[in-house]
């Protein structure tokens, strides 16, 4: 098992004031084997980010049991937990990158958890590796921005830096929270294809939350629907019908959320089919 959640509940803010907390997850049970690729979909506020943060071991659930990469993170010592976290890669919707940081430093940060402290500290001043970060950025068509400052990049370019960082980290469990929300459709497809090819070639488990349904169905073989903090379905992409999606997004406006805001009805051609799995060719490294 890559991870297993048993009846996990999360109440934000409950530690300081148990009565006043805000419930984000309710009795969530979910597991994935190594190498599985699943998308978490659902309306805003459904609990997608909270679920990914539980898997990333960045929040401790209020109830239930968590196993990630065969460990219970909340029974580990500080250094064991640090080692476990270095095996988990997280892509944030708005990557937490200090504004003046250079792109190369932001990508190298992916490995800081794996390096001894002196190498990590030194790499903030003298990049410990240039070819590695450049190769990962090239997969995302960003190799020419290696030495740019992050605050000169657009939101979509920053998201691609976040993807390059996690590819450079080479984790065993890859968690992506709305990783392409600020990208145009072509770059979103390029970025997701690189995450999939990484997952396929190294046997990495990939879990991505996506607000838009078309990208989820096109790329992911397994779809988990979350609403109001609960898993409401867990289905192969081919079984996710228009009706299932309409129930999931019932509280939103009439149309299903899609990447380019076009009306969407899943047809067999939109839906992931493992036999047709294509990886967009990475851009040429110059």
Asked if 197 touches Mg ion (CB under 5 A), the answer is: no
Exposed e or buried b for every residue in 251-265, given b needs 16+ CB within 10 A?
eeeeebbebeeeebe
Residue nearest to Mg ion (CB): 49
Smallest gap, in angstroms, from Cβ of residue 141 to ligand ADP? 27
The three-class DSSP label of residue 212 is coil
The three-class DSSP label of residue 92 is coil
Asked if 44 touches ligand ADP (CB under 6 A), the answer is: yes
CA distance 57 to 24: 16
Asked if 49 touches Mg ion (CB under 5 A), the answer is: yes
Smallest gap, in angstroms, from Cβ of residue 226 to ligand ADP? 7
Asked if 46 touches ligand ADP (CB under 6 A), the answer is: yes
Give the one residue of 18, 45, 98, 236 binding ligand ADP; rule: CB under 6 A: 45
Candidates 91, 37, 1; CA nearest to 207 is 37
Q: CA torsion 188→191→195→201, rounded to 10°?
A: 130
Which stretch, 46-54, 104-112, 148-156, 229-237, contacts Mg ion (CB under 5 A)? Answer: 46-54
Residue 155 near residue 99, CB atoms below 8 Å? no
Asked if 110 touches ligand ADP (CB under 6 A), the answer is: no
Residue 205 near residue 36, CB atoms below 8 Å? yes
Smallest gap, in angstroms, from Cβ of residue 209 to Mg ion? 6
User: Cα-flanking dihedrals φ and ψ of residue 229, to 5°?
Assistant: 80, 5
Choose among ligand ADP, Mg ion, none what residue 60 binds, the Cβ cut-off being 5 to 8 Å by kind. none
Which stretch, 42-50, 137-145, 187-195, 216-224, contacts Mg ion (CB under 5 A)? Answer: 42-50
Give the one residue of 2, 8, 36, 48 binding ligand ADP; rule: CB under 6 A: 48
Asked if 60 touches ligand ADP (CB under 6 A), the answer is: no
Asked if 56 touches ligand ADP (CB under 6 A), the answer is: no
Asked if 22 touches ligand ADP (CB under 6 A), the answer is: yes
Which stretch, 41-49, 121-129, 165-173, 192-200, contacts ligand ADP (CB under 6 A)? Answer: 41-49
CA distance 238 to 222: 9
Give the one residue of 2, 47, 66, 207 binding ligand ADP; rule: CB under 6 A: 47
In terms of DSSP H, where are the helices of the chain?
A: 48-55, 78-86, 103-108, 117-123, 131-139, 155-169, 185-202, 213-219, 242-248
Binding footprint of ligand ADP on the chain (CB under 6 A): 12-13, 22, 24, 42, 44-50
Binding footprint of Mg ion on the chain (CB under 5 A): 48-49
């Amino acid at each position: 098992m890559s991870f297993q959640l048993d009846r996990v509940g999360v109440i934000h803010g409950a530690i300081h004031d148990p009565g006043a907390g805000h419930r984000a997850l309710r009795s969530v049970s979910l597991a994935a084997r190594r190498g599985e690729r699943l998308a978490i979909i659902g309306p805003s506020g459904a609990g997608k980010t909270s679920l990914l943060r539980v898997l990333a071991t960045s929040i401790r659930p209020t109830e239930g049991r968590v196993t990630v990469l065969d460990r219970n993170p909340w029974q580990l010592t500080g250094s064991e937990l640090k080692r476990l976290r270095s095996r988990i890669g997280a892509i944030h919707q708005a990557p937490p990158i200090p504004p003046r940081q250079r792109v190369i430093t932001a990508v190298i940060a992916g490995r800081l958890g794996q390096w001894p402290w002196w190498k990590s500290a030194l790499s903030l001043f003298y990049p410990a590796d240039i070819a590695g970060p450049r190769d990962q950025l090239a997969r995302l068509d960003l190799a020419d921005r290696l030495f740019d400052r992050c605050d000169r990049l657009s939101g979509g370019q920053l998201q691609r830096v976040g993807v390059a960082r996690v590819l450079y980290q080479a984790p065993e469990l890859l968690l992506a929270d709305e990783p392409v929300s600020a990208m145009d459709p072509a770059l979103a497809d390029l970025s997701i294809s690189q995450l999939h090819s990484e997952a396929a070639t190294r046997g990495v488990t990939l879990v991505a939350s996506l607000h838009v349904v078309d990208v989820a169905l096109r790329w992911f073989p397994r779809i988990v629907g979350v609403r109001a903090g609960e898993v409401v379905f867990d289905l192969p992409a081919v079984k996710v019908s228009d009706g299932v999606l309409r129930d999931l997004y019932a509280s939103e406006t009439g149309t299903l959320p899609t990447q380019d805001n076009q009306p969407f009805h899943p047809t067999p051609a939109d839906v992931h089919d493992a036999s047709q799995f294509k990886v967009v060719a990475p851009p040429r490294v110059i």
